[in-house]
């Protein structure tokens, strides 16, 4: 018996799991965030470009969808696409005065994978652009020894029951179908 459906789980040393995750390619490396998590998309401009007429657009480059708009000194959430309401906002609002227009995208969904562009305009002239790509990938070998230490101490707890108690943002049944238990 695999232990995935039954009342208890064998006591292996490790679990090799495959879970969906996001990878963000940008100039600062490759940070990752899980589905349902959040990710920062970087965009900075020189402080000398900052002025009242500054306009900053964050768009899905592959769809031309408006993700976030900053215009006339403030964010314009009513202008953004409905899929990004309450999910896309500036990473650090206090840093706007320093030229930091990095965006935080929260409650990540599979549909969020794609290319994003930050475009900055000053007096209607295009002055800066930053591209970032959010890629939906797989974390192929995610070792969970602490989970199995817990399960070896409490063998009556099934993996399904344990996963159902955690604040996970993925489908437990789907995740369990991807789990390989090693002895």
The label of the residue with tokens 């029951």 reads 161
pLDDT band at 78 (very low <50, low <70, confident <90, very high): very high
Q: Which of 27, 57, 48 is nearest to 119 (CA)?
A: 57
Per-residue pLDDT, 167? 47
Interval 100-110: pLDDT, tens: 889 999 988 88
- Is 169:37 a contact under the CB 8 Å cutoff? yes
Interval 26-46: pLDDT, tens: 444 444 566 788 888 888 888
Residue 45: strand, helix, or coil:
coil
Which CATH fold topology does 20-137 show? Immunoglobulin-like (2.60.40)
Domain ranges of the chain: 14-19+140-182, 20-137
> In 103-148, at which residue ranges do the beta strands (DSSP E only) sit?
103-105, 114-122, 125-143
Per-residue pLDDT, 156? 54
């Amino acid at each position: 018996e695999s232990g995935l459906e039954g009342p208890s789980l064998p006591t292996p040393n490790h679990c090799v799991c495959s879970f969906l995750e996001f990878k963000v390619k940008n100039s600062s490396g490759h940070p990752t965030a899980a589905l349902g998590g959040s990710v920062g998309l970087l965009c900075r401009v020189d402080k000398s470009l900052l002025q009242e007429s500054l306009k900053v657009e964050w768009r899905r480059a592959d769809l031309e969808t408006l993700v976030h708009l900053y215009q006339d000194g403030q964010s314009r959430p009513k202008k953004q696409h409905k899929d990004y309401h309450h999910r896309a906002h500036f990473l650090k609002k206090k840093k706007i005065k320093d030229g930091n227009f990095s965006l935080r995208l929260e409650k990540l969904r599979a549909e969020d994978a794609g290319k994003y562009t930050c475009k900055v305009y000053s007096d209607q002239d295009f002055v800066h652009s930053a591209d970032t790509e959010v890629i939906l990938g797989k974390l192929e070998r995610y070792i969970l020894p602490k989970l199995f230490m817990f399960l070896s101490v409490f063998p009556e707890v099934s993996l399904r029951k344990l996963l159902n108690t955690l604040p996970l943002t993925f489908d437990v049944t789907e995740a369990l179908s991807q789990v390989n238990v090693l002895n």
